[in-house]
A and B are shown apart, each in its own frame.
Chain A
Amino acid sequence: MTTPYGATVLEHFRRPRNQRSLERPTASHEGYNPLCGDRVRLEVAIDDGVIQSAGFTANACAICTASASLLTERVSGSTVDVALAIRDDEAVEALNAELPPARLACALLPLRALREALGKARTPA
């Protein structure tokens, strides 16, 4: 498969890291793009303020899937505070690709789902 978005996107789309459901997630959130139909569910297992593991399930485009893969790699083992401090531009830069503006929503969907999940973890229902 060829992609105009570069080797990082292709690598993480075809061999996504952490694409799995966690056995006992502390919190999860399913992000959804109503226009294109991308769906990604982020799950985190947190212990004492540290993200012990992160996983995702996606029915999403290559950019969104790759972004979720990179993001879960990055936050696994980090504190919740550090994960919440990840900026939009950092998540986009991690893809190492020239994204057209219309595709930024795809790249950022996993990060937004992660923030929602972490928010739920801090304020349990």
Chain B
Amino acid sequence: MTDVLDQLQQLRDTERRVAMATLVAARGGSPRPLGAKLFVGAGGRLVGSVSIGGCVDARVIEHGERILGVAGGRCERVTVTVDDQEALELGLNCGAEFDLFIESLSLADDDPTMQLLRSAASAAAGGHAAYVVTQMSPASTARRVVMSEGRAIASSSAHTIPVDAVAPELQDLEKSAMRATPSGDVFIDRLAPPDTLVIVGASDVAAALSRFGHQLGMRVVVIDGRERYATRERFSQADEVRVGMPSELVRPYLVAGASIVLVAHEYKYELPILRDALRSPARFVGMLAGRKRADGIRTLLREDGLSEEQLARLHAPIGLDIGGREPEEIALSIAAQLIAVREGKAIGRRS
């Protein structure tokens, strides 16, 4: 849901009303996470998806168009079963079943749902996870409360929904999820603050990686000690470009969930940064280096007092072993590794 406002903005040029379909439950596996969205414009435009292929989306579009036709608005939970008879006979049916919550929305600025989604997105952009709690029962308008930092920051109407039943667990909830409450099911759509990707060394690999990071929805910060390299022109898609003492500029970003990627290939930056980064709670610390050079850096850090456990956190050589040598290819291998680490996958590193 992190890009829901971007998706709605794409539709506002030509559409006044849309159906918003949210994936709220999946049985038999789903390649998209819960909370994935597909928007169906009253004028026919489509943005987003709730499945990787088109088989589920096509049926969701049909439901969306039906709901857009209901005068006075409508929201309801629908179940879509992938039961293509031809695919079944060929042994290609995945057998999955999906629940979607589909509702009609006005794209006007003053629409209550738009305002509510804006509140949630604003909290997430400010660094605090937001939880959009939606009652799954059918109605003319969805009943919702937006929670952030342990309190309700927006709600859809005077109707109350049972947030007390789910509020205690929100702080520890890492993904969107359905919950049963005494008053019926509620879907908790989690809007996480964007992951931060800090790239040290404003090289061509950094330029390509900043573009990938931006496309993956990350907050991208580029740091270098050299102002001729770290320019806005070279890093137009980065959220921040900072020039100064790199080890000091990196320090505020050494927090849980952050990824620190060193592509400077300069020990003058690598050593002081790694001394702090490998002791920090950052999710990922990686360095562009061949195996021999990486081992040399580890030896120096060991002499500086870092433990074997801390040294083992360093991804060097960085990136998955896909064999590429061009800046864009190396950046792609690094971006893929960032995702693999986030998802807890152990797959091949570059050699």
Contact = CB atoms under 8 A, between A and B. Distances in A.
Given A32-B225, A34-B227, A59-B269, A1 B300 contact: yes
A85 B47 CA distance: 70
A124 B264 CA distance: 37
A60 B247 CA distance: 11
A85 B22 CA distance: 73
Nearest to B246: A59
Nearest to B266: A37
Interface in B288-302: 296, 299-300
A116 interface: no
B189 interface: no
A39 B245 contact: yes
B44 interface: no
Contact of B303 (A14, A58, A60, A61): A14
A83 B256 CA distance: 45
A61 B225 CA distance: 13
Interface in B190-241: 224-228
A65 B268 CA distance: 9
B289 to A, nearest CB: 15
Contacts of B248: 57
Contact of A37 (B225, B300, B303): B225
Interface residues of B, number: 20
Contact of B224 (A14, A37, A57, A58): A37
B324 interface: no
A38 interface: yes
Interface in A5-63: 14, 30, 32, 34-35, 37-39, 41, 57-61
A37 B268 contact: yes
B272 interface: yes
Contacts of B95: none
Contacts of B227: 34
Interface string B260-275: 0000101111001000
B245 A59 contact: yes
Contacts of B245: 30, 39, 41, 57, 59
B268 A38 contact: yes
A8 B246 CA distance: 26
A34 B226 contact: yes
A61 to B, nearest CB: 5
Contacts of A58: 268, 272
Nearest to B269: A59
B69 interface: no
A65 B272 CA distance: 12
B150 interface: no
Contacts of A61: 267-268
A59 B273 CA distance: 9
Nearest to A21: B248
Contacts of A34: 226-228
A91 B210 CA distance: 41
Contacts of A1: 296, 299-300
Given A37-B224, A58-B272, A59-B246, 18 more contacts: A1-B299, A1-B300, A14-B300, A34-B226, A34-B228, A35-B226, A37-B225, A37-B226, A37-B264, A39-B245, A39-B246, A57-B245, A57-B248, A59-B245, A59-B247, A59-B272, A60-B268, A61-B267
Interface of B: 224-228, 244-248, 264, 266-269, 272, 296, 299-300, 303
Interface of A: 1, 14, 30, 32, 34-35, 37-39, 41, 57-61, 64-65
16 contacts: A1-B296, A14-B300, A32-B225, A37-B225, A37-B226, A37-B269, A39-B246, A57-B245, A57-B248, A58-B268, A59-B246, A59-B247, A59-B269, A59-B272, A61-B268, A65-B268
Q: Which 3 A-B pairs have the closest CB atoms?
A: A37-B225, A37-B226, A39-B225
